[in-house]
Amino acid sequence: MTFENLHLDLQDSILLVTMTRESALNAINMATMASLHRLFGEYIPDHEEISGVILTGAGQKAFAAGADIKEFASFSAQEGKLLSATGHETYFLIEKSRIPVIAAVNGYALGGGCELAMACHMRIAGEHANFGQPEVNLGLIPGYGGTQRLVQYIGKAKAIELLLTADMINAEDALRWGLVNHVVPSGEEVSKAREILLKISTKGPVAVRKVIEAVNAYFTEATDGFHFEVESFGYACGTQDFREGAKAFVEKRKPAFTGH
């Protein structure tokens, strides 16, 4: 099985997965999303020797700076809805994984990248990491679960502020607000995640799986919100505002939104 844009390294039953589009700040394009889907939907369930997974990004600058804006800049409402639904399906595979998955956040975790980190069971942030959901800058909303999971982690007041202002928060604020589990010196994100996963690997695998299922069960009633997000992301994708927002991003200028 091959995994475009991912590098896999299995050591002591822990699978380290690195997103490898460093020059695009590990922006998650459709090929990366398909790889993550195959990894969590087929490969990991078939490999019982894996007891835990670490997800990280190549380089020192970014975990992942979002969905690949250039790739979906001209998407219609229907295509946007499909993109969002595919992301939801993949991220639910991660959240519902039978083994723990930890995001080692080594830099920017923005948009779909922040949403990917939030779909993992824990987050270890390097001290220079930044988190945010900047989609409104593009005339868009988060499409990979951000409107739901951010509220789950940091509460409605802080979540709505971040979602509406597109402000980024640093690692210390993310720790204080409950978005990340630990902040470590830059470069030590993976080793801290490995230490936690090795500890968990000594526990009963059935108990580990059941804890993950039970904690996820607490949030089951939020499922309708995820559906609403898919519909709304698709709607926003079909607007002139998103066309303008994405064009302005590529041209490195401020967007001129018209509200259409």
Write phi, then psi, for 190 (nearest 5 degrees): -70, -40
- Catalytic site includes residue 229: no
Task: Kindly identify the residues of this chain, within the stretch 10-39, that bind ligand CAA according to CB under 6 A.
Answer: 24-25, 27
Residue from 42, 49, 79, 115 carrying the catalytic annotation: 115
Segment interacting with ligand CAA (CB under 6 A) among 6-14, 93-101, 129-137, 191-199: 129-137
Phi, psi of 102 (to 5 degrees): -120, 130
Put the strands of the sheet holding 14-19 in their side by side order.
6-11, 14-19, 52-57, 101-105, 122-126, 182-184
Query: Does 68 engage in binding with ligand CAA (CB under 6 A)?
Result: yes
Give the amino acid at 107. Answer: G
Among 63, 144, 226, 242, binds ligand CAA (CB under 6 A): 144
Which CB, 14 or 140, lies closer to ligand CAA? 140
Burial of 158 by CB count in 10 Å (0-12 exposed, 13-18 middle, 19+ buried)?
middle
Distance, in Å, from the CA atom of 106 to the CA atom of 218, rounded to the nearest integer, reads: 29
**213 is an active site residue:** no
Task: Supply the minimum distance, in Å, between the C-beta of residue 214 and ligand CAA.
Answer: 28
E-assigned strands of 58-171? 62-64, 101-105, 108-110, 122-126, 130-132, 169-170
Question: Closer to ligand CAA at the Cβ: 108 or 226?
Answer: 108
Judged by CB, which is closer to ligand CAA: 51, or 130? 130
Pick the binder of ligand CAA from 16, 17, 75, 87 (CB under 6 A).
87
Taking CB under 6 A as the rule, does residue 80 contact ligand CAA? no
Task: Note the Cα 98 to chain centre separation in Å.
Answer: 18
The site for ligand CAA (CB under 6 A) is made up of 24-25, 27, 65-70, 87, 108, 110-112, 115, 134-135, 137-138, 140, 142-144, 146
Known catalytic residues? 115, 135
